[in-house]
């Protein structure tokens, strides 16, 4: 009897050891798969970090970088910026791609900061190659006043970015900065077109919705003359919004109410931005001929 008990105990202990040995790899495998899942959600940046984790001293850097991206509200911004730079670099070169994306970033941060300033809950900027960038609105503006303030922040920041590029040109005499100044001025001036989802459409809504008629005509002309077919999206969105405003006249009237003082202030700001950006664009075009020739070559 005692011999049988001893053999049973030995069998039980052996089974426990075997089960424990089998459980360890499963736990490690589970942990590794969880880590791989987290890295896969970060896309190409996650793949780079996973590559770094395999190499000695670089492992520490990779772990801290991964933790920073996970904790940061701007993780999506950093990743989408990186991917956009990589894609644009295949067509325009790394230097111009980086400058172009930074110009877009400054514009979107103008929207982000003005939105936060008036208490709107918005996301950090996100980039979509060949479509631009945007900030997500977690809550819609409560009035046309808030919408106009949020909208004008982008072109205002963009005008500042253009001035910085021109200042760097005056210091370095590099045609690169002149070319980048032109691109910055053009993009921000284009966004002031008074129609639809563009910044100009949001700003002029606080002045008079009738200005959208002018914007509609200009949008159609640009599509027809310049073959700017991406404006078809702006045209469709703007027409849909006009129809919605006409269907909900009572709500639209209430939403568009704004004090005369603010209407004057936003109107003057809008006209000043138009004049400044148009002037900067023409000036930078005149001094960037060398840059344009280098791009063609």
Is the pLDDT at 25 greater than 50? The verdict is: no
Q: What is the mean pLDDT of residues 151-177?
A: 95
The tens digit of pLDDT for each residue in 57-81 reads 445 545 554 555 555 577 888 888 9
pTM for the structure as a whole: 0.73
Span 214-238, mean pLDDT? 88
Instruction: Name 114's Cβ contacts closer than 8 Å, sequence gap at least 6.
Output: 149, 150, 152, 153
Per-residue pLDDT band for 29 (boundaries 50, 70, 90) equals: very low
Q: Is it the case that residue 180 has pLDDT exceeding 90?
A: yes
| Higher-confidence position of 211 and 53 | 211
Q: What is the spatial distance between Cα 108 and Cα 217, in angstroms, rounded to a whole number? A: 27
The CA distance from 66 to 83, in Å, is 17
Most confident of the ranges 76-85, 107-116, 279-288:
107-116
Distance CA 129, CA 131 (A): 5
- Calculate mean pLDDT across residues 245-266: 89
- Is the confidence at residue 19, as pLDDT, over 60? no
Tens of pLDDT, residue by residue over 36-50, are 555 455 555 555 555
b/e burial code for range 113-128 (CB count within 10 A of at least 16 → b)? ebbeeeebebbbbbbe
User: Which of the pair, 131 or 105, is modelled with greater confidence?
Assistant: 105
What residues are paired with 133 via a beta bridge? 127
- Give the 3-state secondary structure of 179-197: HHHHHHHHHHHHCCCCCCC
């Amino acid at each position: 009897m005692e011999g049988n008990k001893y053999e049973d105990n030995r069998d039980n202990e052996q089974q426990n050891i075997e089960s424990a040995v089998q459980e360890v790899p499963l736990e490690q495998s589970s942990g590794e798969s969880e880590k791989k899942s987290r890295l896969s959600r970060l896309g190409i940046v996650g793949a780079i970090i996973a590559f770094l984790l395999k190499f000695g001293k670089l492992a520490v850097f990779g772990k801290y970088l991964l933790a920073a991206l996970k904790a940061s509200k701007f993780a999506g911004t950093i990743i989408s910026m990186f991917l956009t730079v990589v894609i644009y670099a295949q067509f325009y070169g790394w230097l111009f791609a980086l400058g172009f994306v930074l110009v877009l970033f400054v514009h979107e941060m103008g929207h982000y900061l003005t939105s936060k300033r008036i208490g709107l809950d918005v996301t950090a900027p996100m980039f979509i190659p060949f479509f631009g960038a945007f900030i997500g609105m977690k809550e819609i503006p409560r009035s046309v006043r808030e919408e106009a303030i949020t909208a004008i922040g982008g072109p205002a920041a963009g005008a500042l970015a253009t001035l910085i590029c021109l200042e760097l040109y005056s210091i370095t005499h590099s045609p690169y900065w002149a070319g980048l100044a032109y691109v910055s001025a053009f993009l921000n001036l284009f966004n002031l077109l008074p129609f639809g989802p563009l910044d100009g459409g949001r700003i002029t809504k606080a002045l008079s919705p009738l200005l959208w008629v002018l914007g509609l005509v200009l949008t159609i002309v640009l599509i027809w003359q310049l073959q700017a077919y991406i404006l078809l999206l702006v045209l469709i969105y703007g027409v849909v919004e006009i129809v919605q405003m006409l269907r909900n006249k009572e709500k639209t009237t209430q939403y568009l109410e704004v004090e005369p003082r603010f209407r004057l202030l936003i109107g003057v700001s809008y006209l000043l931005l138009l004049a400044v950006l148009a002037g900067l664009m023409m000036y930078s075009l005149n001094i960037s001929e060398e840059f344009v020739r280098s791009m063609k070559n």
